Each structure stands twice: as C-alpha cells, then as structure tokens.
Amino acid sequence: MLFDVFICHASEDKECFVRSLAQRLRESHVEVWFDEFTLRVGDSLRRSIDLGLRQSRFGIVVLSNNFFNKNWPQWELDGLVQRQNSVGENVILPVWHQVTQNDVANYSPSLAEKVATKTEYGLDRVVDDLLKVMKPTGSSLIIARDILIEHGVNPPVVTDDWWLDVAAFSNYNAVEGTFQEASGWERWGFPLPPEGTSPEERGRRLAFAAMQRDWQKRADEIPITQVTPPEEVLAFMSSLPGLLEACHDHPVFLAVYAPQLTIPGLGGEFEIVFEGLFCELVAKNSPHGYPPNVLPLRYPNLDSMSPWGTAEYYFVGAGGAASTGPENGFYEKIDYLLWLLSDTSSWVPSNVRNVLVEGLCVMGTWPWFRDGESERLGFNPCAETEALEQELYRHRVFSAFKLSRRVKRDMLSRFAFSKQLLSLQESPEELVELFLKAGVIEKWYQRHSKRR
C-alpha cells in the first residue's frame, strides 16, 4: 500500500470542501491520494487513479449532487466497491456534502445504509470522524508512524511490508534482558525502549527500531568507526533522526562506538556528559582502588593505564572476553595499528597514540588473513600472504628474525590494502618503515617470551 486514503469526489466540490479536507488529513500524518498532491505533469490520469484506488487503505467518497451527475467519480466509486467486496473489509468512508438521506438512497441504496459523516458538521468534526476509522486509538503501528514523523522520518503507510522488516528488527537482540545484553546490539546499536504490552510502549519500540535500523546501516556504509575524525562523527550523529537522543540516553554505549569523542577536548556537545560520567565512575570504583574500565582515555594519568586494556577498549569495545558490553570492532588490528603510525591519525593527541600503539603491539596484530576479517573487508591474499607470520613462529627470539624479500612482499601487500582501506597518506613502503621503526616485531617477541 502507498496511501492511507483515496478521495473520490466531483471536481466542482474541490474548492468549497475537498481541498481543505485533503490538506487537514495530510497535516494529521495521513498519506492522501489527491490529484493536486499526487499527479505530476505527464502522468497518465487513468493509471494514476487506478494506482490510488488499488493501493489505498481507504476511499473517502464525497457524495454530492455534483457527484451524482458525473460519470468519472462514479467509475472511481465502482473501483472502491470492487476493492471492498474483494477484501471483505470496510474500505468506503462516505461523506455527505449538501445532500439528504433520500438523495443518497435514490443514487445508491447500499451507500445510504452506510454510516456517514456530513459536511454540515464542520470540517473539524468530519476530519475527527474519518481519523477515528483510519487511525484507530490503540494501534501500535499508527503510534510508531506518528513518532517517526515527529522525528522527521517519512515512513510508508502501515500496511507496507517495510513495517514487517521493522517489526522483525525490533526483536533481533537474542540476549536482551540478560547480563550479555549490551553485546547483542551490534555496532551503533542502543537498547530499544522496553517492548511492554501497551500500544504506546510497542509503538515507541517500533519507531526507534526503524530509526536504529537506518543509522546502523549508514554507520557501516560510510563507515563511522574509531578512526573517523570527531567532527565527522558528531555530524553523522546529528544527521540521522533519533540518534542524538539515543546517544544522550546511553552515553556509555556512545563512548564505546565513538571512543575518540571521549578524548578530552574532542567530545563536542558530549564533553560535559563524558566528564560527568567519568567522575561518577571514578567515585563508584574508588573504594576498590582501580580506575573504571570505560572512558580510560579521560584518566588524567593515561600512562599509568594498561596499554592492552586501553587499546582493547578503543578498538574492540567494552565487552572483551566476558562479552558484557557493546562491541565496536570494524577493521583488523593491523589496520588500526597502521592508521596510528600514519600521519592520517594526527588529530589524535600524541600521548593517546603512543598508548594505543603500545596496546596493539602487546595484543598482537596477526594473523591478518586467517581470521576472515581481512577477507570480509575485501583483501585478496597473494602467494606471500602469511609469510611474516610463518617467519615469526619459526624463531624464538627477535635476533633470529629475518626480514626476507618474501616477508617484505607479504607486508607490502597487506599494507597497500590498509592504505586504500583507510586512505592513509603514506605509501606501502613508508608504512613498512614506520611499522619496523615502531618496534612492532620486537615487541611481539617480548610478549611471546613472557608467555613462555
């Protein structure tokens, strides 16, 4: 269905009543098929009317003496009668305009038997009478649709299959209500309003599910990740209906999806929000003698924080192995590491970059193909892929490691992919030099030596 209602009328009644009726219904968030709203230059009148008749939930029939004396509106009425007979539901909504019961009965006894509203009641009463049928009180879909319209979204009519997809999406978090709930919302997903049992509760959940479905899709398409400059993240949040509201309602989730905003001075309108949340978390954890596991980048003495934990929070999310928080991973660790080593990340304060680089080195950045993430991102392996990994595991100490041509070709192949993926400023050769200069390979051996 494309429309809520089709208005069947005689053109002579347009000026005195029908145009005002159509406008008022439109202002009430009703999708109206009305020639002045719908038809464009070059449209086929017959085909457009057929479409309106076929794909409208209801048909308002403005019965008047002008209507009775014309063939065209009678043809439209025949189409509505056929629709009503085929679906077995009430489709026709009669409006009597300056006619009596006898006038209507002489034209159509079956129409005279239907309860009608009358223009003599006034436009307000006519609109209210029609809305009671088209927008029944207690309909969760209607409530959801009105909420979406209030947020600037233009959803289809409630009989469109689009709503089936939204309803399915609103139930997608399989761990909702458990301690793992946060991990079930996926990137840029926030807890939806409680499902509840009332139409208002169900309608609100559907509305926010529809908006969240859109902004999660956009976040992956753009994409919006931990490497996106803060001003672009803030612009993204402001551009999508409902997203800013969700971010303010769930700042801990936002801190995971956009950890760059938690860096002091980069939070925009959320600067005060994050500072207040950080102070609250510190006060809550102070008796235990350890800093909070969220918002680590706001900790005054960042160097005293665990580089591993800080990098894991920034690039993986708050869930970690326990999966108790939302996750934010999009690229592979090697991509994030090269981004940090590149001048492309120059907007990140140097102390933050240093801690994150150290954390990624401690976490390890291999393998960069076998886990499937590189493949998901579009990386095509070459003959030398995994050569670096094989060389690493071939020796027990850094001094035995050899940067062979095969290993370097492996690095150049993967680093060229990272350059294209993240629009890094440096060439693949320069990225290799930065990678080696940062001592990533040496730190890998140090980590594995400690494990042994």
Domain assignment of residue 350, given as a range = 334-452
Of the listed ranges 283-287, 297-301, 393-397, the one predicted with least confidence: 283-287
Does the residue 130 lie in any domain?
yes
User: 360-372 pLDDT, tens per residue?
Assistant: 998 877 767 666 6
Does the residue 433 lie in any domain?
yes
Tell me the average pLDDT across 352-363. 92
Domain count, the chain: 2
Among residues 79, 106, 135, the one where a domain terminates is 135
- For the beta sheet containing 56-63, the strands, ordered from the edge strand earlier in sequence to the opposite edge, are 32-33, 3-8, 56-63, 92-96, 117-118
Residue pair 188/215 in contact (Cβ under 8 Å)? The answer is yes
Does the residue 407 lie in any domain?
yes
* pLDDT value of residue 326: 85
Residue 43: band (very low, low, confident or very high) from pLDDT cuts 50, 70, 90: very low
Percent pLDDT > 90 in the chain is 48
- Maximum distance among all Cα pairs of the chain, rounded to whole angstroms: 105
* pLDDT value of residue 50: 59
Joined together, the tokens standing for residue 144 give 């959801």
CA distance 207 to 242: 9
Does the residue 207 lie in any domain?
no
Residue 137: band (very low, low, confident or very high) from pLDDT cuts 50, 70, 90: low
CA distance 202 to 321: 33
Does the residue 41 lie in any domain?
yes
Buried b (16+ CB within 10 A) or exposed e, 72-102: ebeebbebbbebeeeeeeebbbbbbbebeee
Does the residue 377 lie in any domain?
yes
Among residues 135, 165, 200, the one where a domain terminates is 135
Does the residue 236 lie in any domain?
no
CA distance 303 to 421: 30
Residue pair 94/63 in contact (Cβ under 8 Å)? The answer is yes
CATH, residue 89: 3.40.50.10140
Residue 417: band (very low, low, confident or very high) from pLDDT cuts 50, 70, 90: very high
Higher pLDDT, 269 or 37: 269
By residue count, the chain amounts to 452
Burial of 186 (0-12, 13-18, 19+ CB in 10 A): middle
User: 185-228 pLDDT, tens per residue?
Assistant: 889 999 999 988 888 899 999 999 999 999 999 999 999 999 99
Tell me the average pLDDT across 75-89. 66
pTM for this entry: 0.77
* pLDDT value of residue 289: 44
* pLDDT value of residue 39: 42
pLDDT higher than 60, residue 322: no
Does the residue 182 lie in any domain?
no
pLDDT higher than 60, residue 154: yes
